[in-house]
Structure 1
Amino acid sequence: MKKLTFLSVSLFLAMLSACSSDDSDDLIDFSVTFSTATISTSETDTTKEITLNFSRAATEAGTITVSFTGENAVYGTDFSTVPAATSGSISLPVAVGDLSTTITFTKILDPIEGTTKSVTFSLDEFDNTDWMNGSVNSATVSFSPIAALNGIIDLENGGSNMPNQVYFDFSSGVQTAVKRDTWELGLFNGSENRVYLNASLLVSAAELEGITDLLSVTEATALTSPLELNTLDAMTFQPTTVTVNTVEELLQGLPVGYFQYGDIDEGVVFTDTWQGDLEGTAFAEISTTADENNVYIVGLGNEIPTEAAEPGSINTTGDHRGFMKVRILSDGSNYTIQYAALDETANFSEVTVPKNSSYLVSGFSLTEGQSVSVEPAADAWDINFSGVFSYYGYQGPLVAGLTYSDFAVHNTLGDVGLYQITTYERDSEGVVTEFDVPSYADFARGDVDESALVYDDRTAIGSGWRDAFGGVLKDDRYYVLKDAAGNYYKMMFTAYISNEGVRGNAQFTYERL
C-alpha cells in the first residue's frame, strides 16, 4: 500500500491507543514461549542465542526457571550457558517492561563422527503464579546442522522508519538484519552479468543510450535522441507526457515517486521489475565487450528518516540522496564499476568486484566506494522482509513510481517457491465465503500443491498480509514455502505492530511440514 495511505491508520491507532493504554484490566495473559523449537550449530558457529518471547511487556518482575537435558552432552564439558546453570536448571530474571529474555548457549566439543549431540531446554516453573507457558515450551539445540521444526519470529525491521532489511532462513531459524541504506547496487554472481537496484532504498537508474565516456556526462549533456516519456500532471494527477532532451531534464523524473518518468509499453523503466527476474533489471545485461556498455545515471534513493512516526504510522522515506553517473564493465568473472559525481569531468573512481559463487547477489555501495555484505549465502535465506519496496508500475489505471511498506519477497533466484492459501473472502457487504481449504493448524505435508508454488515472482507475499487502511493484520491467509533443500514449511503472520502500536515490528509463526 502506498505511503500516502497511512494517515487514517495513524489516527485510528492513536485514538485506540489513547483509549486503552492505561486500562490494565484489558492486559492479555502473560505467557512465555521459545522463539523456535530447533536450533543448529556448526563447526564455526558455536554460540547461539536461545530467545524466550513474552506475549506482552512484563508488568512485574519475576524469575523463569528453565531446565535442560543433554543427549551425549554434559554441562561444562560439552557446552556452557549464560546465565550459568545450577543443578540442571537456569534462572532467568525478568524486569518490568521486558518483552523477552535469552540464554546464550556455547558449544565446547563437537560430536564424535557417527554420533549425535543435543541439549533440550524446557520451561520448568515461574515464581509468578499468573505467568504461563506459551505455544513452544521447549527448544532443542543440535551440535550439528538440522532443519528447524518451528518457531515464532519477531522481525528486526527496526520500527516505524523500517531501517533494516531482514533475511530469514527457515531451516536454521536465523534472521539477518542489514541496514537498507548500506548499498545501492547488487551484482549478480551467476553466469549472466546483471545488476540489481536496491528497491528498499528507492534506487533508480537510466541508461544514456550511445554514451560510453563517463567523464563527458554532466547535467547539460544532450541525449542522443529525445525521449517521449509518461508521467502524472502535478496539478490534476492525470497522465501526461514530457519530452526529455538533456540529462538535467531526465533527473526531474528519475527518483521513484508518483511523478517518475517512464514508458512501460516501450520498455523504458528506471527501476527493476517487481518480479525480480534477471531480464527485468533497469541495467541492461553487462556486456563483456566494453564499448557496448553505456553510462547510467543512478538515483541513489532516499534517506532513512531518523524521526519516529506516530504509533500505527510509518516514516520511511526521507530526502533524496542525489545522483551519480555510473558505467559497469565485465569480463564474465569480475565486474568493474566506474562512477563519479555528475559534475566531475576530470577523474572517476573504479572498483573491480570478483563474482562470488557463494552468494546470489553481492552488494556495492556507491557512496562508500566498496563492496558490502548484504545477503546471506545463497542457500542461507528464504525470505527477505525488506520493509520498504519500490518499483515503477501500475496503480489501478495509473502508471507511476510506487513505494510499499511492510513488504516481503522470497528468494526466487535461489530456487525457493512459495504460494498463498486464502481461507475465506468477505465481500463489500460483509458477507463471508469460506473456502474448502485446511486451516493453518490443520495444514499438513500432504496438502501441499506443488503446482501452486511460485518461482518467478518474488512478491507472492508482498504487503498483502496486512491492511494498512484498517491498521490490522489479515487473518484470511497463510503461506506455504519450499526451500532449495526440499524442506516444506507453512507460515502465518501473527502481529502487524508491536504491543505499543509501533509499525515495523511484525511477527510470524512457522512450522516444518
Structure 2
Amino acid sequence: MLRFQKLSAILCLAALFTACKKDKDPVIVIPPSSGSQLQLNGGAGGASAKNSVFVDFSADKQDSVARASWDLGFYGGSEFRVKINNTTSAAVKVLEKTDLGAVVAADTAGLTLAISQSSPSASHYNSIDALNGSLTGTVIPEVSATASNNKVIIINRGTGGGIAARAWIKAKITRNGNGYTLQYGELNATTFQTVNITKNSDYSFQLVSFDNGVIATGEPEKSKWDFVWTYSVYETNFGGTIVPYNFSDLIFINKLGGVTAALVLNSTVSYDAYSASNIATTTFSSDYNVIGHKWRVTSPSAEFPGAPVGVLTDRFFVIKDAAGNVYKLKFLNFHASDGGERGKPRIEYKLVK
C-alpha cells in the first residue's frame, strides 16, 4: 500500500511539472515587420552586380546569392521541372540523343547558345526559360518517369553581367523516387558526376552547381521571400522585334510562392496616403514581371519620356505576401544620378495591413 501511495505521488508531481512546463513554454508568434529601409547587397560589379538579392518584408531580411554560384534549379512541388539560370544568361539545347556517353563536342556544331547584346534575335527564346516565370515554360522538358525518354541537354552556363566563360556541359536528368538524379560532364567526357536531389516542398527550387553540387545557401524557402532584385535576361524591342536581352536592376516577385503585387501612380494616391482603405481598389497581379524594370530609368527612354536617370518618383508598389500581409514599397535610389550606388539600391516599405 505504501509503495502504491509513493508511486501515485510521483506521478502527480510529474503531471504537475509537465503542466507547469507547458505553461512556461507557450508558442511564440512573431508579428510581421511594420516596415523598414534596406540597402540591398548586390555585391561588387555595379550595373553587373554579382548577387541576386531576395527580400522578405515581414522579417526585415535580405539574402544575397551569387548569380554564378548555381546552374540548375530543381522544383520542389508535384511536377518534375528544372529551370536554368537566367541571371547568368545560360542557354540550353535539348538533343534527340538519350545516351549521355554518345554526346561529344561535335554535337555543338553550329550552336551559339548565347544572348547577344549587339544583335539579339527572337530565335534565342528557343534556348531559354520563359521570361514570365511560368513553371511550364522551362526549356528543359518536364522530367519523364520513364528514364529512357529523358534526352541529353547541352548547356552554355552563361556570361551575362561580366561572368567569365566556363566550359559547356552535357547533362541528363531523370527521376529518382520523389526527386531527381542529375548526371553531367564536359562535352567529351566519358565518365560523369552524379548528384541526387530529394524534393523539399518548403522550397520552390533547390539550386545545384556543376562545380559544387546542391547549394546550401541558395534560393530561400518559398515562404521567406517576396521579391528578388537581380541582373537577368529580360526582353526589349530591338528594331521593331521583341527579343531576349540582358538587363540590370530587375525585380521579380515570388510568383510560385503566392506573392502578388501592383503598381500605383502617385496621381491616384500618394505613397504616404495609401492605407488599408485603398487595398480593395488595388488590382493585384501574379505577373512575375509586375515590377520588372518599371521602377527605374537607366538612360533616356521613350517608355518614360522626360524622366531623368534614377528611380521613377511618380509611382510606388504594393505587395501582398502569401500570408496576406500587405506592404507598400518605394525605391529611394539606385544610381549616382539620384544619390545612390549602382548595385546597391535603397528601398523603403511599410506594413499597410
Contact 2:167–2:186, Cα closer than 8 Å, also in 1: no
Instruction: Please state how far the C-alpha of 1:407 moved relative to its aligned partner.
Output: 1.0
* Aligned ranges 1:19-418 → 2 under 5 Å: 112-113=24-25, 144-159=29-44, 160=46, 161-208=48-95, 210-221=96-107, 247-250=108-111, 253-258=112-117, 259=119, 263=123, 269-302=126-159, 316-331=161-176, 333-344=178-189, 346-386=190-230, 388-391=231-234, 395=238, 397-418=240-261
SS of the residue corresponding to residue 352 of structure 1 reads strand
AA partner of residue 340 (structure 1): G
* Structure 1 counterpart of 2:13: none
Instruction: Please state how far the C-alpha of 1:332 moved relative to its aligned partner.
Output: 5.3
Contact 1:329–1:336, Cα closer than 8 Å, also in 2: yes
Instruction: Please state how far the C-alpha of 1:215 moved relative to its aligned partner.
Output: 1.5
* Per-residue Cα deviation, 1:104-151 (whole angstroms, up to 9, x for no partner): xxxxxxx94459xxxxxxxxxxxxxxxxxxxxxxxxxxx752100010
Distance 1:318 1:362, change over 3 A: closer
Distance in 2 (alpha carbons) for counterparts of 1:199 and 1:294: 21
SS of the residue corresponding to residue 413 of structure 1 reads helix
Instruction: Please state how far the C-alpha of 1:501 moved relative to its aligned partner.
Output: 5.4
> Scaled by the length of structure 1, what TM-score is found?
0.58
Listed as ranges, the gaps of 5+ residues in structure 1 are: 1-110, 116-142, 222-246, 304-315, 424-434
SS of the residue corresponding to residue 173 of structure 2 reads strand
AA partner of residue 292 (structure 1): N
1:476 to 314, 318, 324: 314
AA partner of residue 324 (structure 1): I
AA partner of residue 407 (structure 1): L
Distance in 2 (alpha carbons) for counterparts of 1:393 and 1:462: 12
Contact 1:288–1:332, Cα closer than 8 Å, also in 2: no
Distance 1:184 1:152, change over 3 A: same
Report % sequence identity. 29
RMSD in angstroms over aligned alpha carbons? 2.3
* Per-residue Cα deviation, 1:205-243 (whole angstroms, up to 9, x for no partner): 1111x210111112223xxxxxxxxxxxxxxxxxxxxxx
Contact 1:419–1:452, Cα closer than 8 Å, also in 2: yes
Distance 1:446 1:500, change over 3 A: closer
1:508 to 330, 347, 350: 347
SS of the residue corresponding to residue 87 of structure 2 reads helix
Moved over 6 A (4+): none
* Structure 2 counterpart of 1:467: 297
Instruction: Please state how far the C-alpha of 1:391 moved relative to its aligned partner.
Output: 4.4
Distance in 2 (alpha carbons) for counterparts of 1:205 and 1:393: 21
The structure carrying a bigger helix percent of its residues is: 2
- Residue-pair matches, total: 318
